Structure 1
Amino acid sequence: MNGYAAWAHPQLAAQVLRPRRDGCSEIALRVESLHDARQVLWLEQRIRALPGVRRVAIDRPAQRVRVVWDAQRTPLPALLESFAAADCPAQPLPRDSIDDARAREQHQALKHLLVAGMCSMQVMTYAFVIYVGVVDFVDFSTRSLFRWLGLLTTLPVVFYSAQPFFAGAVRELRGRRLGINLPVALAVLLVFLASGFNTLRGSGEIYFDSVTMFVFLLLAGRYVELRSRHRSGALGDAAIDAAPLLAQRRRADGELETVPAIALLPGDRVHIAEGGTVPADGVLESAGAQVDEALLSGESRPVRRARGQRLVAGSVLLSGPAELRVEHSGATTVAARLGALATRARQARSLIAPSDREIGRFVARVLVLTALTALGWLLVDPSRAFEAAVAVLVVACPCSFALARPAALTRALGVLAARGVLVTDGKALDTLARVDYALFDKTGTLGVPQLDRRAIEPLRGDTPEHVLQLADALAHESSHPLARALADAARQQALPLQARSVRVHAGAGISGEVDGRMLRLGRADFALAPAGHPLPADADALVLADADGAIAAFHLAEQPRAGARRLLDTLRADGIAIAIASGDHESRVGALADRLDVADRYARQSPDDKLARLQAAHAEGRITLAVGDGSNDAPLLAGADVSAALASGTELAQSHADLLLLDGHLGSLADARAIARQLRQVTRRGRRWSLWYNLAAVPFAAFGLVTPWLAAIGMSLSSLLVVLYALRVGNTGAVAPADVPGPPLRPRELHA
């Protein structure tokens, strides 16, 4: 039986197939090996040639392929085998992944653009005949015919292609706010109605060429921005698609069975073949393995994992086979949490329009200026009032001003995703660029704890293995970095003990019943508090205790996390005040702070203490950045102006963070700040260009020196240039060195 035969099972196929009304089935597939356009075209042709295939849609940035076909003529296993035969192995995705929203949005925008483009070219041809008639003789009936042809050809542009502007204007009026769609809709409607009236009466100027060109160029700018926004969502799709749907579970008799990955339970043993994808989060039970975690971390180099270390769902096994003991599956895996955060990030991207107040003021000034122009010409020469007013309305349209930030922000989000930073709130980048105070958690954030078995100190004559086994039972229930370091050191233990009635005390430790005894693991003052015993000589050790006192002390060493030095040096170079607040002992906090040259450090800090220090900085008028990874950091992250969490941190910390560092490398946060400052500069320059253009062009339009068609070209090209300029975000040298101090950005290959 080949690897695809399992998909013939009706219950398994029902998870990925969506039935259609026409009797066909639809499926979404993840295909990683889509490298170039020729390969995409060849794959599409090959799949289309299969019996019963109706439609194939390939989204190369998101590595997704959607197929609509008759499953009776080509069964699902045969379809998957065809992908494999084309050297493009496909993984079926849950049926919920079949979302038409993005494809429908892009398809609709393209249709509006194409209709406007074709009609505008045709109208320009008709207008050329009329313009020739100004300098050469063209009889009246011919001019009238071409005016009517221009009117008929403009109808699809006004009533179809311009529909997004009219719908947007209606929404703005209903919301009692002024936006960019209102002046566009007014300009299109007024110019079309006036031109139509002049066509009916057979005299007067017509501007059908201006209307169609205006709509076409505006739609072109919006389409470029839309494509950029969709491309930046590819990482989120990749994270959602990371984990496979099938797994090879080992039964009690040692045989393998194919089961849905979502059905895996903690404690299940899973077999992963070489080249296979890890189906769940768990602990490696083989001697060692080499895995590719690029999809989740952005790190292009393979990672070596030893027995007892954790593997995350979505990683690719490069050397195998391997055995995995499941800890988390389904929606609780790291990949699933990243998928949820990516969805949240995409929702934030739909709200990345600039401030309504700024746009409202801009639009109000444009409308007032248009009215004043019309009034002035009515007093001087009423026959030129309409043309001059329309020219002002078109040339001063705030489209380029309004597109500057959304286009630049969309580009910035995509660049950061490629560099291992997931932004869950688009507004956070603007705040990050203005930060002047940064507060860091220590353990697990700036420092990575490690436990050497020689640093285990039994205090009652027990063996190091036994006390480590007791501590592991409690540490296994916590995601705190100290607990993880202790649990990792105990992975080689046989027959691990189970803890009951476990309770995690934020910033202090863990308590629970192990082997019939109530134990406490954590800071010495917490572990020994019930018994009232004096603290050990090394009071900063991690202590395991029961009602009779200390059982063992664990002396954990701590190393600075990768990128910590670079990040802190970058922030200091920018004049940002840096502080460390930790619940750890003074000696450990001081040791790491000295290694990182941080003078402002605070030890024995509870979550409330950390938040109070952040609020004190707020009271001084500072803009604050908080960085943490634990559940006890959630209040700190939520209270900061902008916050960042590590992907290895707790789900609670991630849910309160504005930025998520997928690779666990703090240097990525330095990249994020540099990109944020670039974003700020590019946005300012785009808006500055828009304002200078308006200041230069509006007087000419107001004095009747700019015709509506010329105003449409100028304004539309201005908007298109602003969108193209926004693509400079993330390019080295796009912003002057004075704009973005610090080291150059670190390139990173995106494997998503």
Structure 2
Amino acid sequence: MSTAATWADPRLAAQVLRERRDGCSEIALHVEALHDPRQVLWLEQRINALAGVRRVAIDRAARRVRVVWQTRRTSLPTLLENFAAAGCPARPLRHDEIEDARAAEMHDALKRMLVAGMCAMQVMTYAFVIYIGVVDFVDFSTRNLFRWLGLLTTIPLVFYSARSFFRGAADELRGHRFGINLPVALAVVLVFAASVINTLRGSGEVYFDSVSMFVFLLLGARYLELRSRHRGGAQGDALIDATPLLAQRRRADGELETVAALSLVPGDRVHIDDGGMVPADGVLESASVQVDEALLSGESRPQQRQRGERLAAGSVLLTGPAELRVEHGGTDTGVARLGTLAARARQARASLAGSDRDAARFVRRVLLLTVLTALGWLLVDPSRAFDAAIAVLVVACPCAFALTVPVTLTRALGQLARHHVLVTDGNALLALARVDRALFDKTGTLAVPRLDAAATEPLRGDSREQVLAWAMALASQSSHPLARALTEAARGKVTPSQAQDVQVTLAAGIAGTVEGRALRLGHARFALAEGRIDPELADDALVLADDAGPLARFHFHEQPRSDAAATLEQLRREGVGLCMASGDHADRVAALAARLDIGDWHASQLPTDKLARLRSLQADGHTVLAVGDGSNDAPLLAAADVSAALTSGTDLAQAQADLLLLDGRLDGLLQARATALRMHKVIGQSRRWALLYNLFAVPFAAFGLVPPWLAAIGMSLSSLLVVLNALRVGHDRTDDATPGRPGSGSAAAVSA
């Protein structure tokens, strides 16, 4: 049975197909061979020509293709066969539900905001005619007409756009907590109801313009915050590529059959080809092999595994083939448990994060003032009690207060994006200002592989510059840590060549044509033809070879990141305690800790060990920043008060991180902390303004001295002031200074 035909199994297809409401199916495919634009165009034309295909979306950067089609007209195996025939073999991915949920959430928020905006603009036009009546004569019939027009225009805003506030208020009441949604929902309902009653009876004040503007401003702020958060969270399901969906199981008669990896059970025998990915956790039953566990541990060095040792799902065989006896398959594999542990840790962190205490206090005060006003007027003049209470609720309604955090946070996210720091969770940025402990991973985070230029060995008489230029042409097409190290070392030293027909083999190497020569760069078994492997080349160096044999060997050594020492020193000056936890051996961890002056370090740490160390720090009352890049760091990153990952790390690590350092530099942490400190100060100033505004305006509203037009102006001015104050984040000299320099960055922001 061919690999494509295997996907006819309904159990396997159910893992990758997402059924749509229009009767079509959707699939996400990983396609490595998307380098040549002409090949991409040919692939798109070929797939679009298949029967029943509705849409083909190709993302070259992510090496992903999404296809929407009718499976009854073109089967999944036929679709995959056409990909292979086009020279672009495709690997189906588990259905991308997270990305679809994000898109639906963004689409829903945008629709509600646009509806609110259109309604608010129209209602303000009608309200202007009514306001004219304060200074000039407007006849009774005209005023009533525009009241009714305002009512009709506000209805979709209240019953559609403001629905998220009603849901939020219901959740807060069920959770027995005060949040910002409760006064917003009460204000919208009561003010709208009072305005409807006054419109029906033809007398009294109407506040349709205040309700409309209030809802639109809050929805706008929430949409901007949501958009900024989703930009960083668009990593998708990080476990999609972690393990293969197919496996070669050995039957009782010794023959191999291709089955769904999810169907593997303990005791099954699995055959893994050279360069293949391990589909399940198990015990190696064949000769020793080399495996790449970078996906799981972040360690770029190949690991030697002997007969009887365990292999982890998601590892890649560098030498093989291998026979594996399955111990854990499907959702019981180690990599699946890592994802589950990370999800539980993030859920626990979210449940422990209490509601905004300042917002809760503000809400209680607003509600108390409204009730006291109503009770006071019931004693003096019951006919004015309802109108006076509504006036207090409108004036004190926390528009400015509710806008403070979203507007300031949105400004901060934009400023950090300019400095190549992407924030995926705005709440974590608020916590960053309180961090007093930082827990770092080692490999890939504090230390990276570097090319030993002096030890570069041309093997056939070519110059070092020539072999380095050839290797750079291939290495620049890969994101593997060793390939990035080679590219960085060669940049500026050699004239780069252009590689054609590039093919990247996961955890093995890169093949392509450079200056008319077919070259391969990678581990020795990949780069050299089978049977011609020199034992001296079979180490962890990279080998460059052509059809005639090896051309050069490149050696690497581990050293601290160029900005690691300065970043750690700056954090120490700010009072942040440092700790390093690594899965690497103690001698290498100790050596790096000595170079970076980290006294608190721990070696041979499993993911559960790192998580336990974090829990211990949090139990002692510390606010902890965790920084890592490997999939084994995912539970740690998910559970930390604030977490950061470099974009050179694994997808799973990035998916759990709150901060993504896009340029691979640790000093982005300093810029993020400086911005967080400044943002904390600006939020405090804006909230104090909101409180002062209420203290001044509420007494006038309570005595019935605030007409609707004045309440609308007061609300607009207070909200405008909050927005203008938020613009100060990133405009101060301290925010624009380079982190780590004396008198700049977060240290300077503390004294601002």
Q: TM-score, normalised by structure 2?
A: 0.59
String of CA shifts for 1:304-356, please: whole Å, max 9, x gaps. 86987999977999xx9985776987546675455435544764686697644
1:153 maps to amino acid:
T
Q: Structure 1 residues 740 and 254 mapped into 2: Cα distance closer, same or farther (>3 Å)?
A: farther
Q: Secondary structure at the match of 1:111?
A: helix
Correspondent of 1:707 among 696, 702, 710 = 710
Correspondent of 2:273 among 268, 271, 274 = 271
Mapped to 1, the partners of 2:746 and 2:393 lie a distance apart of 45
Q: Structure 1 residues 219 and 441 mapped into 2: Cα distance closer, same or farther (>3 Å)?
A: closer
What corresponds to 2:617 in structure 1?
640
Q: Secondary structure at the match of 1:640?
A: helix
Asked whether the equivalents of residues 627 and 643 of structure 1 are also in contact (C-alpha less than 8 Å), the reply is no
Q: Structure 1 residues 405 and 593 mapped into 2: Cα distance closer, same or farther (>3 Å)?
A: same
Mapped to 1, the partners of 2:102 and 2:10 lie a distance apart of 29
What corresponds to 1:435 in structure 2?
436
Mapped to 2, the partners of 1:261 and 1:285 lie a distance apart of 23
Mapped to 2, the partners of 1:45 and 1:127 lie a distance apart of 55
Asked whether the equivalents of residues 638 and 656 of structure 1 are also in contact (C-alpha less than 8 Å), the reply is no
What corresponds to 1:146 in structure 2?
146
String of CA shifts for 1:342-381, please: whole Å, max 9, x gaps. 5447646866976443221122233445567789999899
Give the CA deviation at 1:559: 7.5
Asked whether the equivalents of residues 83 and 90 of structure 2 are also in contact (C-alpha less than 8 Å), the reply is yes
Mapped to 2, the partners of 1:376 and 1:60 lie a distance apart of 67
Q: Among the aligned pairs, what percent are the same residue?
A: 51
1:210 maps to amino acid:
S
Asked whether the equivalents of residues 739 and 746 of structure 2 are also in contact (C-alpha less than 8 Å), the reply is no
Mapped to 1, the partners of 2:577 and 2:567 lie a distance apart of 13
2:392 maps to amino acid:
A
What corresponds to 2:192 in structure 1?
192
Correspondent of 2:678 among 678, 681, 684 = 681
Give the CA deviation at 1:183: 1.8
Give the CA deviation at 1:434: 3.4
Give the CA deviation at 1:109: 2.6
Question: Is 1:105 aligned to 2:102, yes or no?
Answer: no
Asked whether the equivalents of residues 225 and 723 of structure 1 are also in contact (C-alpha less than 8 Å), the reply is no
Give the CA deviation at 1:639: 1.0
What corresponds to 1:502 in structure 2?
none
Mapped to 1, the partners of 2:250 and 2:424 lie a distance apart of 36
Asked whether the equivalents of residues 421 and 672 of structure 2 are also in contact (C-alpha less than 8 Å), the reply is no
Give the CA deviation at 1:100: 5.8
Q: TM-score, normalised by structure 1?
A: 0.59
Structure 2 regions of 5+ residues with no counterpart?
450-522, 525-556, 619-623, 654-660, 701-705
Q: Structure 1 residues 578 and 417 mapped into 2: Cα distance closer, same or farther (>3 Å)?
A: same
Give the CA deviation at 1:689: 2.3
What corresponds to 1:394 in structure 2?
397
String of CA shifts for 1:639-687, please: whole Å, max 9, x gaps. 1123748666968985996258674999977755663453343233233
What corresponds to 2:246 in structure 1?
246
5 Å-filtered alignment, 1:606-625, equals: none
Mapped to 1, the partners of 2:429 and 2:416 lie a distance apart of 11
5 Å-filtered alignment, 1:198-213, equals: 198-213=198-213
Asked whether the equivalents of residues 187 and 394 of structure 1 are also in contact (C-alpha less than 8 Å), the reply is yes
Q: Structure 1 residues 573 and 230 mapped into 2: Cα distance closer, same or farther (>3 Å)?
A: same
5 Å-filtered alignment, 1:282-301, equals: none
1:689 maps to amino acid:
S
Q: Structure 1 residues 576 and 728 mapped into 2: Cα distance closer, same or farther (>3 Å)?
A: same
Asked whether the equivalents of residues 342 and 639 of structure 2 are also in contact (C-alpha less than 8 Å), the reply is no
2:246 maps to amino acid:
L
Mapped to 1, the partners of 2:128 and 2:40 lie a distance apart of 42
Q: Structure 1 residues 688 and 193 mapped into 2: Cα distance closer, same or farther (>3 Å)?
A: same
Give the CA deviation at 1:399: 0.7
5 Å-filtered alignment, 1:496-511, equals: none
Q: Structure 1 residues 650 and 233 mapped into 2: Cα distance closer, same or farther (>3 Å)?
A: closer
Q: Structure 1 residues 267 and 717 mapped into 2: Cα distance closer, same or farther (>3 Å)?
A: farther
What corresponds to 2:366 in structure 1?
366
2:186 maps to amino acid:
L
Mapped to 2, the partners of 1:42 and 1:146 lie a distance apart of 60
String of CA shifts for 1:156-207, please: whole Å, max 9, x gaps. 2222222222232233334443211122122222321222122112233322
String of CA shifts for 1:527-575, please: whole Å, max 9, x gaps. xxxxxxxxxxxxxxxxxxxxxxxxxxxxxxx987667755643443334
Q: Secondary structure at the match of 1:398?
A: helix
What corresponds to 1:235 in structure 2?
235
Mapped to 2, the partners of 1:315 and 1:244 lie a distance apart of 10
C-alpha root-mean-square deviation of aligned residues, in Å?
6.5
Give the CA deviation at 1:82: 7.2
2:617 maps to amino acid:
A
Q: Secondary structure at the match of 1:689?
A: helix
How many pairs were matched up? 600
What corresponds to 1:217 in structure 2?
217
Asked whether the equivalents of residues 404 and 723 of structure 1 are also in contact (C-alpha less than 8 Å), the reply is yes
Q: Structure 1 residues 224 and 91 mapped into 2: Cα distance closer, same or farther (>3 Å)?
A: farther
Mapped to 2, the partners of 1:218 and 1:740 lie a distance apart of 32
Q: Structure 1 residues 415 and 336 mapped into 2: Cα distance closer, same or farther (>3 Å)?
A: farther
Q: Structure 1 residues 126 and 573 mapped into 2: Cα distance closer, same or farther (>3 Å)?
A: closer
5 Å-filtered alignment, 1:338-349, equals: 339-340=339-340, 343-344=343-344, 347=347
Give the CA deviation at 1:147: 1.7
Mapped to 1, the partners of 2:668 and 2:222 lie a distance apart of 28
Give the CA deviation at 1:119: 2.4
Asked whether the equivalents of residues 416 and 672 of structure 2 are also in contact (C-alpha less than 8 Å), the reply is no
1:434 maps to amino acid:
V
5 Å-filtered alignment, 1:76-87, equals: 76-80=76-80
Q: Structure 1 residues 695 and 735 mapped into 2: Cα distance closer, same or farther (>3 Å)?
A: farther
Mapped to 2, the partners of 1:241 and 1:637 lie a distance apart of 28
Mapped to 2, the partners of 1:582 and 1:24 lie a distance apart of 47
Q: Structure 1 residues 78 and 637 mapped into 2: Cα distance closer, same or farther (>3 Å)?
A: same
Mapped to 2, the partners of 1:669 and 1:446 lie a distance apart of 8
Mapped to 2, the partners of 1:721 and 1:34 lie a distance apart of 46
String of CA shifts for 1:438-459, please: whole Å, max 9, x gaps. 789999999999xxxxxxxxxx
Asked whether the equivalents of residues 236 and 339 of structure 1 are also in contact (C-alpha less than 8 Å), the reply is no
5 Å-filtered alignment, 1:724-739, equals: 733=737
Mapped to 2, the partners of 1:234 and 1:69 lie a distance apart of 24
2:395 maps to amino acid:
V
Q: Structure 1 residues 227 and 655 mapped into 2: Cα distance closer, same or farther (>3 Å)?
A: closer
Q: Structure 1 residues 646 and 101 mapped into 2: Cα distance closer, same or farther (>3 Å)?
A: closer
Give the CA deviation at 1:102: 3.7
Q: Structure 1 residues 677 and 352 mapped into 2: Cα distance closer, same or farther (>3 Å)?
A: farther
In terms of mean alpha carbon deviation, does 363-372 or 187-196 score higher? 363-372
Mapped to 2, the partners of 1:710 and 1:583 lie a distance apart of 60
String of CA shifts for 1:72-93, please: whole Å, max 9, x gaps. 0232244456778999976433
Structure 1 regions of 5+ residues with no counterpart?
450-490, 493-557, 603-609, 611-625, 745-752
Q: Structure 1 residues 695 and 448 mapped into 2: Cα distance closer, same or farther (>3 Å)?
A: closer
Asked whether the equivalents of residues 354 and 402 of structure 1 are also in contact (C-alpha less than 8 Å), the reply is no
Q: Structure 1 residues 165 and 269 mapped into 2: Cα distance closer, same or farther (>3 Å)?
A: same
What corresponds to 1:504 in structure 2?
none
Asked whether the equivalents of residues 675 and 730 of structure 2 are also in contact (C-alpha less than 8 Å), the reply is no
Correspondent of 1:692 among 686, 689, 692 = 689
